A and B are shown apart, each in its own frame.
Chain A
């Protein structure tokens, strides 16, 4: 069973939850930019969250399903359509053989995820399916998806033939994920202070916590360029190269900011004034150029609380999806 790319999108790559354990070799974790959306996409179709998904940017691809397939689409809203009908997002859907998924319109967000029941049949590199574009390894031959690419599924059988409705191209299954907590206050990002935060002048520290910042069009999977009133340090400093994270907020020499994203390098040498909290990385990943954002400092205690609450929601969702699917299969 498989799908094929009839027309490639701007940047479609295979991703999972990242490649860990090789930072000492300079191999960065990468992985899905919005890990929440990628995880939920897998859960909705009954997969482990470690399965590979397709991460898409707008304009999205045209994808042909070679057989009846159980899929889910999560993340940014690119108005997914199957042939000429709108598909629901954040919900498992059975799609009919020989239909084409496409995305005619950008409504919201920046990354959109497609998961299929059973996952894609791909080789791991260093224990992960994620695509390392710089090294040209991992994912689907280490590159973005192109016209004519065919992706096989691990599952070779289709389990839900009785559910398809005659004359209909797709059939949604009757459960969906409630995501309003995750993307609430889209433009407010909580951060934990970085090691060089205390070097900010008093007025810059104040500005950082209350000014508006603009996401610049040059932003990509490596980092967001953020424009605003320049921030200043009390003394010039160039920290010796050391590890950075997804969400690290770096202060550049001219006073502008970069927020590191999923494809960030393993190490960096710019002052780190903050780190966006893990629970807000999904919001961060869905920001668009010209979005106006604010940063707000919180404690590690609060950051962990939010993360554990999020995790609780996901555990409940995964169990529910698992139970629903099992019922269908019986």
Chain B
């Protein structure tokens, strides 16, 4: 009797391949994704252009011409890369436990900085303070960075706060903190956005001049804390970049 596969591998066309650990968002599968990411970085192959870790999947972006030139696969390049992903899965272990460092992010929770804050409070039949309490009392895992440079996908919000994303995206100012389903995240740039915006951070989470370029990465732990509108305006003007 065969075991059900713990993963599936599928192509994103002829130049990218994804290994998918399933549709559930769990810390264990995310840790495994990051373990495979590290393993592939250490065992890179010619033609490997990029590795994209997500919630519970990992995608390798490759140049089929370069792979073929170096390795002369018998069948397709895609099949050859699939074997590399299977190797990554088998040899990468379960991944690292989090190192315990918590990154604290200041957020101004105010109707003027969170366009959907009042509506959510009303819908959940809670006061603004209760909403703030629910958002700031959780240690969130950063599951992935995507959508915009530095945009962190954090989970899971308190179930009493979870709200489906909006039917239509609207313009969202940079630093906006939003909720979509069980996720919370931070728009690092002004962007059209469908997440429910409950506040805004003055922190710049993307810095093109710094070595890592982005401040948060998958696997980090984040907590939010509340600041006043005055504090927000002061720090926003200074353009503060947080020093960890």
Could you tell me if B18 and A304 are in contact, using CB atoms closer than 8 angstroms? no
Contact of A27 with B by CB under 8 A: yes
List residues of B (122-160) whose CB comes within 8 Å of A's CBs.
144-151, 153
In the complex the two chains form, is A308's CB within 8 Å of B50's CB? no
Asked if A41 CB lies within 8 Å of chain B CBs, one says no
Q: Give CA–CA (A232, B117) in the complex, Å.
A: 35
Cβ-defined contact, B213 with A22, below 8 A: yes
* Chain A residues closer than 8 Å to B218, beta-carbon distance: 24
The answer to whether A265 and B14 have CB atoms under 8 Å apart is no
A44-98 interface with B by 8 A CB criterion: none
In the complex formed, the residue of A with least CB distance to B150 is A26
A189 to B: closest C-beta gap in Å? 12
Closest to A249 in B: B13
Residues of B within 8 A of A307 (CB): 14, 64-65
**Contact between B145 and A243 (Cβ–Cβ < 8 Å)?**
no
Tally of contacts, chain A with chain B, CB under 8 A? 142
Q: Chain A residues with Cβ under 8 A from B16's Cβ?
A: 243, 245, 275
The answer to whether A244 touches B12 (Cβ under 8 A) is yes
Query: For B14, what are the chain A residues with a Cβ–Cβ distance below 8 Å?
Result: 192, 275, 277-278, 300, 303-304, 307
B61-A23 in contact (CB<8A): yes
Contact A242 B77 (CB under 8 A): no
8 Å CB contact of A267 from B50, B56, B146, B212: B146
A41 to chain B minimum Cβ distance, whole angstroms, is: 19
**For residue A132, which residue of chain B has the nearest CB?**
B149
Taking CB atoms and an 8 Å cut-off, the chain A residues in 223-272 that contact chain B are: 239-245, 247-248, 265-267, 272
Of all chain B residues, the one with the shortest Cβ separation from A267 is B146
- B53 at interface, CB cutoff 8 A: yes
Asked if residues B145 and A25 are in contact (CB atoms below 8 Å), the reply is yes
- In the complex, B96 has a CB within 8 A of chain A: no
Are A267's CB and B148's CB within 8 A? Answer: no
User: Nearest-CB distance from A137 to chain B (Å)?
Assistant: 4
Q: Which residues of B contact A267 (CB under 8 A)?
A: 52, 54, 144, 146-147
CB <8 Å contact, B59 and A242: yes
CA of A247 to CA of B50 in the docked complex: distance in angstroms?
17
Determine the distance from Cα of A248 to Cα of B57 in the docked complex, in whole angstroms: 17
- Return chain B residues, CB-CB under 8 Å to A316: none
Measured between beta carbons, the chain B residues less than 8 angstroms from A210 are none
**Chain B interface residues toward A at CB < 8 A:** 10-16, 18, 20, 23, 25, 37, 49-57, 59, 61, 64-65, 68, 76-78, 144-151, 153, 188-189, 191, 206, 208, 212-214, 217-218
